[in-house]
Structure formats: structure tokens, C-alpha cells
């Protein structure tokens, strides 16, 4: 069993993944901001669950927008558990609105949370994983980098950056025996706080210029929900179960990508071809070694 650090564990997929992995026998550190303040209730729920079910489940403070916080969280995990085996990069936020109406500060802030945040956690964790020459970086990505629906521009851009960083980091991490898996959930409209907690654009004047499109934006969540396949279990627990399945696979047998999409958009086929193209290109460059897990 592994020692696992999960980011963004207060709600949704991160919360479910923490419980699922702990029940599977892993030592889990569920991280989030404000464990003694804004998320004190979630902290209490995790502690109660751990005691009730005898789980090795802990809570740790982690703000992905702070390198100091990421460093402190990883250090706390290693000090308490003696090691770190897996990082599940799940923290993220959603913006809904017109691209032009998001200021540069808006866009920078979202990319900071959704992409740079994962990089900060990697910078904190990789020294430990490199030293032990083993471990797994598992990223909770999104099919949105392929489907690119309207009115979610900054979010699409931030998740594309997140995915790209995961891929290019994998080349170097693999040379130290560190595996990479990117689990890509499709749109989820139930069981998460993604849409309800979404932020809006700061520039109200520009948003007003697009007011005739407001009815389309208003039905964004409804339109997304209409894509769900009626014969498929739409519970986000399915994503947590897939993460657990991937982490349970033997070393060297974890998929680089896994798509869990309730809308059946065909993203799995697109990404399979995309990754084959990328791998062929890297190999032609003479860097095929970076595609292989070493050690």
C-alpha cells in the first residue's frame, strides 16, 4: 500500500478519492486550504470517518498557490508517514463567462491555481520521489482540452496548461523511476461543487456588451447535463474508483492516460492518437529514453 497526498480534497472528486483510497488500504493525506477554518467541518468529517472505520486517513493544510505551503505539506507527510509514494493532483477551480470579460489578473489567477499549483506541489514532492527513485504522479485532468465548449475559456486554457506540464514533467520524472498517469474526467454536473462554486469575469462592462448571449451562458450546466448517457452511472465516485484502480496496478503497468467520460464524447480516441503522435515525434528526436520508465 502507498502513502498518498491528494490536493483539493475538501469536495468532489478529491474528497471521494481520499475516502476511496483510504478504504483500499492506502495511507492517505487529504489536503485543502483552511483545515481549521473554512474547511474545519470537512476536517472533522475525515477524522470521524478515520476513527469509525479504522482508516489511515489524515488531513493536511495545503494552499496550492503558495510554494511554502506546498513544501510544508509534503514535509509534514514525510515526517508523519516516513515516505511519500503518490501525489494526486486534483485541486482546481472553474470560471464561467465571456473570454474578453476576464481580465489578465483573472486569467493569471486561474492558471496559477489550476496549472502552476500542480507544479508547486511537484517541486515540493519530486525531491523525495527522486531520492527513493520511485513513486507516481497522478493528475486529475479533463476532457475539456479536447471538447473545448463555449463560455469556459480561461478554464480550458488552464487545464490545457495543466495537461502539458504533466506530460513534459513525465519525461524527466520517468528517468528517476517515477510513473505518470493522467485520469481525464469528462463533464460532471452532479456530486461536485464545480459549477455552483464557479467564478465570473471581473469586467462587468465587457460582460454587459455580451448580454444577448446571457441565456446561453445561463443554460451552460443544463446543456452539459443533457449530454450525459442515460445508461451510464454518472456518480463522480466512478472517477475516484478509476484512480484507485490505476494506483493498484503494478509498477510499469499504469496507463499514461485514462478517460472517464459520462458524455461519451470520444476523447479517449483523440488522446490515444495524440499521444502516439507525440511519442513518435519524441522518438524521432532521439529522446525515446524519456518515454520509458527507468529503474
The per-residue pLDDT for range 116-174, each reduced to its tens digit, is: 999 999 999 999 999 999 999 999 999 999 999 999 999 999 999 999 999 999 999 99
Give 259's DSSP letter.
E
199 pLDDT more than 80:
yes
201 Cβ contact partners less than 8 Å away, ≥ 6 residues apart: 95, 97, 98, 101, 102, 103, 106, 207
Report residue 280's pLDDT band, with 50, 70 and 90 as the boundaries. Answer: very high
78 pLDDT more than 70:
yes
216 pLDDT more than 60:
yes
What's the mean pLDDT in 184-207? Answer: 83
- pLDDT of 22 reads 98
DSSP 3-state of 65: coil
- pTM over cut 0.85: yes
Residue 257 Cα to chain centre, angstroms: 13
Give percent of the chain above pLDDT 90.
88
What's the mean pLDDT in 17-38? Answer: 97
187 pLDDT more than 90:
no
- pLDDT of 195 reads 64
- pLDDT of 79 reads 98
Residues 105, 210, 157, 115, CA torsion sign: positive
* Whole-number average pLDDT of the chain: 95
Write the pLDDT tens digit of every residue in 236-265. Answer: 999 999 999 999 999 999 999 999 999 989
- pLDDT of 194 reads 62
Strand order of the β-sheet with 86-89 is 57-61, 27-32, 3-6, 86-89, 135-140, 178-185, 257-260
Cα separation, 61 vs 39, in Å, equals 10
- pLDDT of 152 reads 95
Amino acid at each position: 500500500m502507498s502513502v498518498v497526498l491528494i490536493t483539493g480534497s475538501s469536495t468532489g472528486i478529491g474528497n471521494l478519492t481520499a475516502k476511496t483510497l483510504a478504504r483500499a488500504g492506502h495511507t492517505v493525506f487529504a489536503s485543502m486550504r483552511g483545515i481549521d477554518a473554512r474547511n474545519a467541518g470537512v476536517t472533522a468529517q475525515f477524522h470521524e470517518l478515520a476513527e469509525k472505520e479504522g482508516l489511515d486517513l489524515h488531513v493536511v493544510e495545503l494552499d496550492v498557490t503558495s510554494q511554502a505551503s506546498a513544501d510544508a505539506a509534503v514535509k509534514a507527510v514525510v515526517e508523519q508517514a516516513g515516505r511519500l509514494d503518490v501525489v494526486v493532483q486534483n485541486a482546481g477551480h472553474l470560471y464561467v463567462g465571456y473570454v474578453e470579460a476576464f481580465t489578465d489578473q483573472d486569467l493569471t489567477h486561474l492558471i496559477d491555481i489550476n496549472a502552476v499549483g500542480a507544479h508547486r506541489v511537484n517541486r515540493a514532492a519530486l525531491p523525495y520521489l527522486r531520492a527513493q527513485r520511485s513513486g507516481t504522479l497522478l493528475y486529475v485532468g479533463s476532457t475539456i482540452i479536447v471538447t473545448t465548449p463555449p463560455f469556459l475559456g480561461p478554464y480550458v486554457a488552464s487545464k490545457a496548461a495543466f495537461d502539458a506540464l504533466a506530460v513534459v514533467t513525465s519525461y524527466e520524472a520517468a528517468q528517476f523511476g517515477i510513473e505518470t498517469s493522467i485520469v481525464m474526467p469528462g463533464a460532471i454536473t452532479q456530486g461536485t461543487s464545480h459549477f455552483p462554486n464557479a467564478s465570473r469575469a471581473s469586467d462587468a462592462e465587457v460582460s454587459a456588451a455580451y448580454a444577448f448571449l446571457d441565456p446561453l451562458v445561463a443554460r451552460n450546466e443544463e446543456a452539459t447535463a443533457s449530454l450525459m448517457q442515460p445508461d451510464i452511472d454518472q456518480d463522480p465516485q466512478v472517477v475516484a474508483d478509476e484512480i484507485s484502480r490505476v494506483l493498484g496496478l503494478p509498477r510499469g503497468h499504469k496507463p499514461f492516460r485514462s478517460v472517464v467520460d459520462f458524455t461519451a464524447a470520444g476523447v479517449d480516441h483523440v488522446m490515444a492518437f495524440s499521444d502516439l503522435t507525440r511519442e513518435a515525434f519524441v522518438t524521432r528526436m532521439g529522446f525515446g529514453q524519456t518515454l520509458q520508465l527507468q529503474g
